[in-house]
Amino acid sequence: MTEPVDPELADLYRDFGAEHLVPLWTQLSDLMPMQPTPAAQAHVWRWRTLYPLAARAGDLVPVGRGGERRAIALANPGLSGKPYATPTLWAAIQYLGAHETAPEHRHSQNAFRFVIEGEGVWTVVNGDPVAMRRGDFLLTPGWNFHGHHNDSEHPMAWIDGLDIPFVHYTDAAFFEFGTERVTDEATPPVSRSERLWAHPGLRPLSGLQDTASSPIAAYRWEHTDRALTEQLLLEDEGQPATAGQGHAAVRYVNPTTGGDVMPTIRAEFHRLRAGAATEALREVGSSVWQVFEGRGAIVMDGLRQVVEKGDLIVLPSWTSWSIEAETGFDLFRFSDAPIFERLSFSRSYAERTGP
Amino acid sequence: MTEPVDPELADLYRDFGAEHLVPLWTQLSDLMPMQPTPAAQAHVWRWRTLYPLAARAGDLVPVGRGGERRAIALANPGLSGKPYATPTLWAAIQYLGAHETAPEHRHSQNAFRFVIEGEGVWTVVNGDPVAMRRGDFLLTPGWNFHGHHNDSEHPMAWIDGLDIPFVHYTDAAFFEFGTERVTDEATPPVSRSERLWAHPGLRPLSGLQDTASSPIAAYRWEHTDRALTEQLLLEDEGQPATAGQGHAAVRYVNPTTGGDVMPTIRAEFHRLRAGAATEALREVGSSVWQVFEGRGAIVMDGLRQVVEKGDLIVLPSWTSWSIEAETGFDLFRFSDAPIFERLSFSRSYAERTGP
Amino acid sequence: MTEPVDPELADLYRDFGAEHLVPLWTQLSDLMPMQPTPAAQAHVWRWRTLYPLAARAGDLVPVGRGGERRAIALANPGLSGKPYATPTLWAAIQYLGAHETAPEHRHSQNAFRFVIEGEGVWTVVNGDPVAMRRGDFLLTPGWNFHGHHNDSEHPMAWIDGLDIPFVHYTDAAFFEFGTERVTDEATPPVSRSERLWAHPGLRPLSGLQDTASSPIAAYRWEHTDRALTEQLLLEDEGQPATAGQGHAAVRYVNPTTGGDVMPTIRAEFHRLRAGAATEALREVGSSVWQVFEGRGAIVMDGLRQVVEKGDLIVLPSWTSWSIEAETGFDLFRFSDAPIFERLSFSRSYAERTGP
Amino acid sequence: MTEPVDPELADLYRDFGAEHLVPLWTQLSDLMPMQPTPAAQAHVWRWRTLYPLAARAGDLVPVGRGGERRAIALANPGLSGKPYATPTLWAAIQYLGAHETAPEHRHSQNAFRFVIEGEGVWTVVNGDPVAMRRGDFLLTPGWNFHGHHNDSEHPMAWIDGLDIPFVHYTDAAFFEFGTERVTDEATPPVSRSERLWAHPGLRPLSGLQDTASSPIAAYRWEHTDRALTEQLLLEDEGQPATAGQGHAAVRYVNPTTGGDVMPTIRAEFHRLRAGAATEALREVGSSVWQVFEGRGAIVMDGLRQVVEKGDLIVLPSWTSWSIEAETGFDLFRFSDAPIFERLSFSRSYAERTGP
């Protein structure tokens, strides 16, 4: 705020300052804009850049108690160097070398992993070893103990998504250390949580209490792929199934409620046929996309960026976005949409073009 | 009520009658008993009796518009010859000969089928052909058009469960005829509903609106069997998974809510190891069990009955029941429990014996 | 069902009977009609008839343990002499002489009282004495101990509404005797429940747990009357407020949820201006109206009946009804609508006449 | 983060920076602390300081389109001069001179007013004039047009509470200007919203759709005061009613759901008897208290501050707090608790002392 010329007003403003007071009228347009004016920027991180940097960290930085994880976070260029993809979401590449272990801990922050390539790591969630493989979406909801260990001769990298910025901003963070090694070093192909919960439309009688987060620790690629394949086949047969023309999409859900997998994070997988495109959309809330396979473009507030396997795209709130598929195009997406739905702030605006 | 001796009272009671009035004080113990005193009786129907009778009906009674279905209902011995398994539930064996068609209709009553043996029939639900095979649980929720056709050279029989008695009693029945033949005579191995919805933890973006009943038309035996198998394996590994010692159980649920498949009907599948038994339990609400495989006993208010494949057991409200498995023992169960849960009348009482 | 002429079929039907089986095809149109065909009839009971009969019972029949209540139930002419207003609802006039006590008991059935005239009785609900006065609507939700005592020199009569028929039919009845006298003979003008809960938009911090039924034991006439008066004044000012032109209406609700006062019973109060009328409506579910004040007509499936203070009108499911006010016309209504809403059977049909 | 000595690591960190990446391991303890470490501080603002500063602003700063409101916000000393009471909550004193008008606008942020003293202003919410008087709690939920006008010869000041910081941080802000003058200059004693909605346990049939925020625009002091008075009287009678010994409390709620008045803001009123005290409590989430009447102390993380009428106390997340009443002590409180409840981050810790 510029210095007022009226000396009485200058006095008043100085007295305000001394008493920890700030007038609204000098701040209004910044505080309460006509529509969201995110400091965060739409930005693309390239897998071909990210992965080698993570590998260099693998050589130079040990993983263990204290640092806890060899995770390297996307730091939105608009957010002053903070390790935040958006004001609410954390997105990082995590890298674990052959036979390394990331020790167990738990925290109130909700976390997931998504695997773009590789295998050989088990994440152990509350004592349940969960294999990580390409295309899998894995959950570590708030306050579940978890560690990772690489049982293979090769390094493995994946994407971590959390609500760290939101929880930090709202002062809701709790953290506790667990064991240095994972509590169960078994390497089963599927987790106990899947064996109990990942059966379509079936709920164990031992699990009739609804839970805030999904009890399924791993959503396997084979199921996601099949669901998307079927949607496109149904579309071919003239049946309603897809989210839009040539655009198959599923949301990962909590089977105890049918709602989002975790209270603050929505996760989805999208598949576009070659040549398909989505209509431009603005939504309250931010999101992160990762290209899983194929090649296409994302248009962000009019700016077109070609992206391919592993690339990460960050979209701040109310950014106009659309996707255009050059080839068949598979994308993982996560967002903070549940926050806005549960607090009644959801809004979207579809910019329909053409007739 | 016995005739009162006081002439003034006799006059009063006569005047009550003339005005369509009934005093509470002469009726109280019947109307408001200390605990449920069902007119319905616990009873067992034998598959070895039922099936031949259904086959005879197959020879003598045509299926078609008007009669609509060749279904033969369990008529509880306590319910005055009404075709009601319990006051709320209908259970029938339905029989469809080679190449026969049961015409399409819809009604407000909720319906399902459970297949104890055979295959070759497709039920067509709102135009979606759904194959019926041993072990499958199939839904036709209220107000969905449906018909059945037998595409094979053999007859097929299955169990129908509906809320006909409840809907009749509460005067909520609506019915509409559809086409004489099923609207889609295709015979795909899986329905479109399954291709869209039966993926564990995945929800199509085209189906984000919650529905009162499950959008999954068929719950396949392979999934049910696998879920139960895994529960017993997890129990072997010392993990919490089963409903009780040696007793695996799943509930069929609506994936949009995690709740029961239909608003009035709960459906479950239970598997007991040979030698396992459940503890005696009383519950508000009635249920029907069908033995799917194996041999064991059900104890109903102290009376023990040995049952085997296909046998149907009807349990009125507040009957004490327990199950004892001689061999590995698979049972399907449906009940009216959602009615009581949603109306806050649920109660149960476990009769624990021993230390 | 008529006797079949084919001897083989006759044999089959006889064998069905012996095995407690009934075919659907001979029963379909009765069991699953095109629309509800209630056995219950629309009927009017006159207060000028009811009250003297109740007073005669007051002279001849003692009230006390065993008979429990001097309540005389409306027995729908279509329901074979059962003391049921409709298949789900019980409605009775209860009469308590000067200084009489109706002993305490509790039951799973949900109950309320509505007072058309008089005062001097306190109903004691779980030890909380609740004064009963003209226009008050009073709750005794399931499993709350309650008794009544008349602290005055005059008899008092009121209307009881319960879900006795529904609970009886579904075998969910539990009952327990309490003390012979009411547990608190104090006669405060308002109950403790009101002092804690009946403040608009305010919830005690000691009561943050939602309850299946309303914690408010008495909804006082002064509040109901004021709410209706304001609706009509707002309508005069051109504001949206009424349920229809000249038709003010409120629903009694559970303040912990905003929903119906009890899980099975909806209660409302309606006020029509002189000359106002509602449009003809059919609804799934049955209801009972009582005229509180004024004079008008109710048209039931085309039959017009003039009704006045105290008269009770019973409407079976899917009966077309409309109300026409000759004078200013105040009516209390209760129904079983929550049963159908919670079980997804609700339907209604408005017969709009004119342009 | 300190500069790494290893040159390869230094290179890596520089390359991270160039690619907008930040490693977790150097940030972990700040980002994910053991328990909340709010930047915001517990702080007290004195009414005797605030009010004169607001009055000086009344002389020097006009109110009108552009600045919109003469509101002066509490700027938490820990939050770098931002006009935020806490990271989620805005709290300001608003001052309106005799016959001034604050023009109409609407915004996605949820707002309320609480009146510590004075009267004469009407806030007009969606065209409904709402009188503001001492002790009243007034709502302007998100996206409702609202303006204020002072119809009196005297200035008036009150407290504004909003979720501005939360909405700003999460980029969910929308704003629209309305008319320069309020759209209805009438000055009725009660609003239309109250006439329709503020009747205990009664819901208009014209308002059966649940709303995200309360439809009651004003919660009047007379109701709040009566509810608190009754709680303490009930406690005197040995009845359960208060939140703790000598501690009456009510929550303002949305009558359509029984839940909080707005999706992000909880509001309560507390009354302690002279000499009463609450036990020390930590809670996730921040809150603001204002003393309405009386004198007492608040102990914040062990620091005791004596407060009196009009003083405002700000408590960051996880601050231990307790209240001690010297005289009868009335306090208004608002918080961001619904955010944490709806997102499953709620936690609290009661530090019980003594036996």
Task: Give B93-119 pLDDT, tens digit per residue.
Answer: 999 999 999 999 999 999 999 999 999
Please report the pLDDT score of residue C67 as a whole number.
87
Angle of the C47-60 helix axis to the B7-18 helix axis, nearest 10: 160
- The domain that holds A143 is classified in CATH as 2.60.120.10
Using CB atoms, list chains with 3+ pairs below 8 Å to chain A: B, D
Residue D173 DSSP SS3:
coil
How far is B211 from chain A, CA to nearest CA, in Å?
11
Write the pLDDT tens digit of every residue in A110-146. 999 999 999 999 999 999 999 999 999 999 999 999 9
CB proximity under 8 Å: B 102-141 to C: 107-109
Residue A304 and residue A150: Cα distance in Å, rounded?
38
Alpha helices in chain A (DSSP H): 7-18, 28-31, 47-60, 164-169, 192-197, 221-236, 337-342
pLDDT-derived band at B5, boundaries 50, 70, 90: confident
Please report the pLDDT score of residue D5 as a whole number.
76
Which helix or strand (DSSP H or E) is residue D230 part of? helix D221-236
| Residues of chain B with C-beta less than 8 angstroms from the C-beta of C45 | 19-21
Cβ A124 vs Cβ A181: under 8 Å: no
Please report the pLDDT score of residue B354 as a whole number.
52
B84 within domain boundaries:
yes
Angle at B185 between CA B188 and CA B219, to 5 degrees: 45
> Looking at the DSSP assignment, which residues form a beta bridge with residue B304?
B299
A328 within domain boundaries:
yes
How far is A209 from chain D, CA to nearest CA, in Å?
15
Cβ D279 vs Cβ D244: under 8 Å: yes
Residue D82 and residue D37: Cα distance in Å, rounded?
18
Using CB atoms, list chains with 3+ pairs below 8 Å to chain D: A, C
pLDDT-derived band at A282, boundaries 50, 70, 90: very high
Please report the pLDDT score of residue A66 as a whole number.
84
CB proximity under 8 Å: C 227-256 to B: none
How far is A241 from chain D, CA to nearest CA, in Å?
30
Using CB atoms, list chains with 3+ pairs below 8 Å to chain B: A, C
Residue B38 and residue C168: Cα distance in Å, rounded?
9
Does D touch B (3+ CB pairs < 8 Å)? no
CB pairs under 8 A between B and C: 263
Cβ C331 vs Cβ C292: under 8 Å: yes
First to last CA, chain A: 46
Out of A56, A317, A336, the one facing D12 most closely (by C-beta) is: A56
Query: What is the number of structural domains in chain A?
Result: 1
How far is B73 from chain C, CA to nearest CA, in Å?
5
Residue A355 in this model has a pLDDT that exceeds 70? no
For the record, the structure tokens of C187 come out as 């006669």
**C201 in contact with D, Cβ within 8 Å:** yes
D12 within domain boundaries:
no
Decide if C268 and D224 are in contact by the 8 Å CB cutoff: no
Decide if D253 and C201 are in contact by the 8 Å CB cutoff: yes
Out of B201, B219, B254, the one facing A216 most closely (by C-beta) is: B201
Residue B146 DSSP SS3:
strand
- Low-confidence stretches of chain D (pLDDT beneath 70): 1-4, 353-355
| Residues of chain C with C-beta less than 8 angstroms from the C-beta of D268 | 205
Out of C9, C72, C87, the one facing B16 most closely (by C-beta) is: C72
D interface test, pick of C205, C222, C331 with most D CB neighbours within 10 Å: C205
Residue B23 DSSP SS3:
strand
Decide if C171 and B53 are in contact by the 8 Å CB cutoff: no
Decide if C83 and B45 are in contact by the 8 Å CB cutoff: no
Angle of the A7-18 helix axis to the D47-60 helix axis, nearest 10: 160
Residue A121 and residue A129: Cα distance in Å, rounded?
10
pLDDT-derived band at A351, boundaries 50, 70, 90: confident
> Looking at the DSSP assignment, which residues form a beta bridge with residue D161?
D91, D112
| Residues of chain A with C-beta less than 8 angstroms from the C-beta of D162 | none
Strands C146-150 and C119-125, bridge-based pairing: antiparallel
Out of D206, D231, D268, the one facing C240 most closely (by C-beta) is: D206
The residues, ordered by sequence, that sit 6+ positions from D194 with a Cβ below 8 Å of its Cβ are C200, D216, D217, D218, D220
Other residues' Cβ atoms within 10 Å of the Cβ of residue B22: 21
Cβ A293 vs Cβ A275: under 8 Å: no
B121 within domain boundaries:
yes
**C190 in contact with D, Cβ within 8 Å:** no
**D208 in contact with C, Cβ within 8 Å:** yes
Please report the pLDDT score of residue C5 as a whole number.
76
Decide if D205 and C230 are in contact by the 8 Å CB cutoff: no
**A47 in contact with D, Cβ within 8 Å:** no
> Where are the extended beta strands (E) located within B187-302?
202-204, 218-219, 247-252, 266-272, 280-283, 287-293, 295-300
Residue C14 and residue B48: Cα distance in Å, rounded?
18
D154 within domain boundaries:
yes
Does C touch D (3+ CB pairs < 8 Å)? yes
| Residues of chain A with C-beta less than 8 angstroms from the C-beta of D167 | 345
Q: Is B236 exposed, middle or buried (0-12, 13-18, 19+ CB in 10 A)?
A: exposed
Nearest to B151 by CA among B178, B139, B176, B133: B133
pLDDT-derived band at A213, boundaries 50, 70, 90: very high
For the record, the structure tokens of D288 come out as 């603001």
A15 within domain boundaries:
no
Decide if C201 and D206 are in contact by the 8 Å CB cutoff: no
Write the pLDDT tens digit of every residue in A314-350. 999 999 999 999 999 999 999 999 999 999 999 999 9
Please report the pLDDT score of residue A227 as a whole number.
98
pLDDT digits (tens), chain C, 355 positions: 456 679 999 999 999 999 999 999 999 999 999 999 999 999 999 999 999 999 999 999 999 888 899 999 999 999 999 999 999 999 999 999 999 999 999 999 999 999 999 999 999 999 999 999 999 999 999 999 999 999 999 999 999 999 999 999 999 999 999 999 999 999 999 999 999 999 999 999 999 999 999 999 999 999 999 999 999 999 999 999 999 999 999 999 999 999 999 999 999 999 999 999 999 999 999 999 999 999 999 999 999 999 999 999 999 999 999 999 999 999 999 999 999 999 999 999 998 765 5
Residue B222 and residue B234: Cα distance in Å, rounded?
18
Cβ B196 vs Cβ B202: under 8 Å: no
For the record, the structure tokens of B308 come out as 């085997």
Cβ C343 vs Cβ B142: under 8 Å: no
Out of A66, A171, A340, the one facing D316 most closely (by C-beta) is: A171
Alpha helices in chain C (DSSP H): 7-18, 28-31, 47-60, 164-169, 192-197, 221-236, 337-342
Using CB atoms, list chains with 3+ pairs below 8 Å to chain C: B, D
D205 within domain boundaries:
no
| Residues of chain C with C-beta less than 8 angstroms from the C-beta of D237 | 192
What's chain D's average pLDDT? 96
**C-alpha dihedral sign at C306, C307, C312, C316:** positive
D260 within domain boundaries:
yes
Q: Which amino acid is at C271?
A: R
Its domain, for residue B167, covers 43-351
Provide ipTM, 2 decimals. Answer: 0.96
Angle at D256 between CA D292 and CA A284, to 5 degrees: 90
Residue B315 DSSP SS3:
strand
- Which pTM value belongs to this model? 0.97
For the record, the structure tokens of A338 come out as 């549940």
Decide if D223 and C199 are in contact by the 8 Å CB cutoff: yes
**D42 in contact with A, Cβ within 8 Å:** no
